Amino acid sequence: MTANLLETCMKELRLRGFRLTPQRMVVLRVLHEAHGHLTPIEICERAQEMLPGLTEPTVYRTLNFLHEQRLALAAHVGSGQLVYETGERDHHHLVCRKCGATHEIPHDLLEALFSQFQHKTGYQIDGMHVTFFGLCPGCQDHQ
């Protein structure tokens, strides 16, 4: 992630009237530098290296806040644990049940389906993340 995107997230928080605390800045930085999914514990460990004294409960609160602001995506990708990544773009995941490999699916491939859900149910969908589970090609070859 570029510094510009990180700055955009920080600017967005200020525009929404939120304080840009050191804790929020460091958790955002960890997410943006990760280029993938991290567990809250992984985020906490990396954030504590950048900001000694940062507590685990503060990291959890910050992740919850960033998720509510749609700047972080919380997802279940098959590990049984919630993972986080930047909320910069809507996407989904394919997860192999055998080896755990993940593959991103661009949202545009499912956009018509989401639109159909909204039309048929009357729901206004404001959170978009789907995880599909199956066997990757490599694991299928070894059956």
Bridge partners, 104 (sequence order): 93
Q: Which two tokens stand for residue 4?
A: 């510009």
CB 61 within 8 A of CB 73: no
Within this chain, do residues 126 and 65 fall inside the same structural domain, yes or no?
Answer: no
Locate 137 and state its tokens. 């090609």
Residues 77 and 96 occupy one common structural domain: no
Domain count, the chain: 2
Tokens representing 114? 């989401």
Containing structural domain, residue 113: 91-137
pLDDT at 2 over 60: no
Taking Cα atoms as reference points, which of 95, 92, 116, 96 lies closest to residue 106?
A: 92
**Cβ neighbour number for residue 47 with a 10 Å cutoff:** 24
Residue 143 is assigned to a structural domain of this protein: no
In a domain, 7, yes or no: yes
pLDDT tens-digit series, residues 24-73:
999 999 998 887 788 899 999 999 999 999 999 999 999 999 988 888 88
- Under a CB-based contact definition with an 8 Å cutoff, are residues 58 and 65 in contact? no
Considering the domain architecture, whether residues 80 and 95 belong to the same structural domain is answered as no
The CATH number of residue 129's host domain is 3.30.1490.190
Q: Is residue 142 part of a domain?
A: no
User: What is the per-residue pLDDT across 85-123, written as a single tens digit (0 to 9) for each?
Assistant: 876 667 777 888 888 788 888 888 888 888 888 899 998
Task: Specify whether the CB–CB gap between 97 and 78 falls below 8 A.
Answer: yes
